[in-house]
């Protein structure tokens, strides 16, 4: 019979063999959070529109158009102040064909475009043909009020806009979870060690990957990569940063009310009167400071689709929902992406023989291998119709370090 030796006197923690001590380990495994993915949560559960795509190469496309232009920018003018006629040169005069009534903003004078001298140069006359034509100021606007028609109703030259075909491409995001049969059979001191628990954690990590991708991706690419040692076709799609290109506004130092005024003026010009602003930590703090002293009409804490939000009413009945997004860290802590809910669409690749490809977990059984393996897959992208309704507001000198 084996013995570890003899002890005289009282047994203590120093004389008892420590290998026989029962380890005191708290049962719960504590994972560093936050684990919040508000934009992904909204796309999957709150988005007003979700559509499958079936193009085999992963692309999905949509058409965009806008109303016929009505604001033209002046680059030069001649003849003003000496008579009833003259010319106005525009940076782009393609919306004019002749016989339009125009409103010159810098002089508050209504005039007539009698004809086009060239592509961007309009021949101008005052309405009655005798009042003096006042020279307008360069780099100001002229509004097209309406096409001119007389009582004989002679048909005007037909005009129209040409739609634009826009596109994005699906991104396949995938991770595997695998465990041997022996590891599955074992018992562990803390939670989080079993195969189902490892799988649940990996699913949450995939949601974090989706959140980063949906917001930050600024690259559109389809081509061959070496993936897992094999040459394979890969598609990389735009997120909000790649899609929202018109209303991109930078600022330095803390966010000021003037910065918000300029940004709100841009993003609320088109679309609905409702916007959602996803913000990093620093910009959220700065916004709260501005709101306290300036914008606070109403700030209502709410919870939508499992996400805490605050709603503000901007003067003019515009509604802004502010959402903190912890994925926006580093330099993006000083950034905010504004979206119009009516223009955002979650696109997902249509189902294959295995099942849906929007988000799925499937068994992967390898021959002659025991244990368990599952694959998590999301084959998705976002479509933003008329990106002029959203925008990016970011602090250019913020590094997050």
What is the pLDDT at residue 199?
94
What is the pLDDT at residue 296?
46
Q: Both 330 and 254 in a single domain?
A: yes
Following CA atoms 352, 358, 359, 360 in sequence, which dihedral angle do they give, to the nearest 10 degrees?
Answer: -10
Q: Both 231 and 284 in a single domain?
A: yes
Give the residue among 173, 171, 175, 183 at the shortest CA–CA distance from 374.
175
What is the pLDDT at residue 64?
95
User: What is the per-residue pLDDT across 347-390, written as a single tens digit (0 to 9) for each?
Assistant: 999 999 999 999 999 998 777 778 899 999 999 999 999 999 99
Q: Both 337 and 208 in a single domain?
A: yes
For residue 6, being part of any structural domain is answered with no
**Alpha carbon of 150 to those of 24, 44, 123, 124, 159: distances in Å?**
94, 55, 19, 18, 18
Tell which of 147, 175, 200 closes a domain: 147
Q: Both 240 and 138 in a single domain?
A: no
> DSSP character for 247?
S
What is the pLDDT at residue 306?
60
User: What is the per-residue pLDDT across 170-216, written as a single tens digit (0 to 9) for each?
Assistant: 999 999 999 999 998 999 888 899 999 999 999 999 999 999 999 99
For residue 387, being part of any structural domain is answered with yes
What range does the domain containing 79 cover?
Answer: 71-147
For residue 15, being part of any structural domain is answered with no
What is the pLDDT at residue 304?
64
Q: Both 113 and 223 in a single domain?
A: no
What is the pLDDT at residue 288?
86
Q: Both 54 and 191 in a single domain?
A: yes
Q: What is the mean pLDDT of residues 212-226?
A: 95
Q: Both 254 and 362 in a single domain?
A: yes
H or E segment to which residue 251 belongs: strand 248-251
Q: Both 242 and 381 in a single domain?
A: yes
Tell which of 147, 171, 189 closes a domain: 147
Q: What is the mean pLDDT of residues 12-30?
A: 80
- DSSP characters for 83-105? SSEEEEEES--TT--S-EEEEET
For residue 89, being part of any structural domain is answered with yes
The half-sphere exposure of 50 on its side-chain side, counting CA atoms within 13 A, is 14
CATH number for position 93: 2.40.10
For residue 13, being part of any structural domain is answered with no
Percentage of the chain exceeding pLDDT 70: 93
User: What is the per-residue pLDDT across 297-310, written as a single tens digit (0 to 9) for each?
Assistant: 455 555 665 666 78
Strand partners, 143: 71, 103
What is the pLDDT at residue 232?
93
Measure the CA–CA gap between 357 and 377, rounded to whole angstroms: 7
For residue 60, being part of any structural domain is answered with yes
User: What is the per-residue pLDDT across 234-288, written as a single tens digit (0 to 9) for each?
Assistant: 999 999 999 999 999 999 989 998 999 999 999 999 999 999 999 999 999 999 8
CA angle 256, 259, 260 (to 5 degrees): 95
The half-sphere exposure of 82 on its side-chain side, counting CA atoms within 13 A, is 6
For residue 337, being part of any structural domain is answered with yes
User: What is the per-residue pLDDT across 77-135, written as a single tens digit (0 to 9) for each?
Assistant: 887 777 999 999 999 999 999 999 999 999 999 999 999 999 999 999 999 999 999 99
Measure the CA–CA gap between 390 and 387, rounded to whole angstroms: 6
Q: Please give the residue that has the higher pLDDT: either 372 or 315.
A: 372
Q: Both 187 and 246 in a single domain?
A: yes
Burial (CB count <10 Å: 0-12, 13-18, 19+), residue 178: middle
What is the pLDDT at residue 20?
81
| Residues 343 and 390 sit within 8 Å (Cβ to Cβ) | yes
What is the pLDDT at residue 265?
93
Q: Which segments of 106-191 does DSSP mark as H helices, in order?
A: 181-185
What is the pLDDT at residue 313?
77
Structure tokens at 237: 């799609």
Q: How many domains does the chain have?
A: 2
Q: Both 58 and 75 in a single domain?
A: no
3-state secondary structure of 392: strand
User: What is the per-residue pLDDT across 135-168, written as a single tens digit (0 to 9) for each?
Assistant: 999 999 999 999 998 898 899 999 999 999 999 9
What is the pLDDT at residue 122?
97
For residue 17, being part of any structural domain is answered with no
Q: Both 193 and 319 in a single domain?
A: yes
What is the pLDDT at residue 391?
98
Tell which of 117, 147, 177 closes a domain: 147
Q: Both 277 and 392 in a single domain?
A: yes
What is the pLDDT at residue 293?
60
Give the residue among 111, 46, 9, 32 at the shortest CA–CA distance from 274.
46
Strand partners, 64: 164
């Amino acid at each position: 019979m084996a013995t570890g030796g003899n002890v005289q006197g009282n047994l203590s923690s120093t004389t008892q063999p420590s290998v026989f001590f029962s380890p005191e380990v708290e049962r719960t495994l504590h994972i560093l959070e936050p684990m919040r993915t508000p934009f992904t949560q909204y796309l999957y559960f709150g988005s007003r529109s979700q559509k499958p795509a079936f193009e085999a190469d992963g692309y999905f496309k949509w058409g965009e158009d806008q109303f016929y232009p009505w604001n033209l920018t002046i680059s030069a003018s001649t003849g003003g102040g000496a008579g009833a006629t003259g010319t106005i040169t525009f940076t782009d005069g393609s919306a004019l064909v002749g016989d339009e009534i125009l409103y010159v903003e810098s002089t508050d004078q209504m005039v007539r475009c009698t004809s086009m001298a060239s592509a961007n140069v309009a021949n101008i006359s005052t309405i009655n043909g005798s009042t003096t034509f006042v020279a307008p100021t360069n780099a100001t606007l002229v509004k097209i009020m309406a096409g001119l028609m007389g009582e004989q109703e002679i048909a005007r030259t037909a005009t129209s806009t040409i739609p634009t075909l826009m596109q994005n491409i699906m991104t396949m995001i995938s991770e595997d979870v695998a465990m041997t049969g022996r590891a599955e059979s074992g018992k562990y001191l803390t939670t989080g060690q079993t195969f189902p628990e490892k799988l649940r954690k990996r699913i949450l990590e995939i949601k974090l990957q989706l959140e980063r991708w949906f917001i930050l991706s600024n690259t559109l690419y389809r081509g061959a990569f070496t993936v897992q040692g094999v040459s394979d076709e890969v598609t990389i799609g735009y997120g909000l940063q790649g899609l929202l290109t018109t209303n991109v506004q930078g600022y330095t130092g803390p966010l000021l009310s003037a910065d918000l005024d300029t940004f709100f003026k841009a993003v609320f010009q088109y679309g609905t009167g409702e916007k959602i602003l996803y913000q990093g930590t620093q910009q959220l703090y700065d916004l709260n400071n501005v709101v306290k002293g300036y914008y606070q009409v109403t700030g209502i804490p709410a919870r939508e689709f499992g996400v805490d939000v605050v709603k503000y009413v901007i003067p003019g009945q515009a509604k802004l929902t502010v959402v903190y997004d912890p994925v926006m860290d580093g330099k993006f802590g000083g950034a905010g992406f504004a979206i119009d809910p009516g223009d955002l669409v979650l696109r997902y690749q249509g189902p294959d023989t295995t099942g849906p490809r929007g988000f799925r977990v499937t068994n992967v059984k390898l021959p002659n291998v025991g244990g368990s393996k599952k694959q998590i897959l999301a084959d998705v992208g976002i479509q933003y119709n008329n990106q002029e309704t959203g925008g990016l507001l970011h602090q250019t000198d913020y590094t997050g370090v």
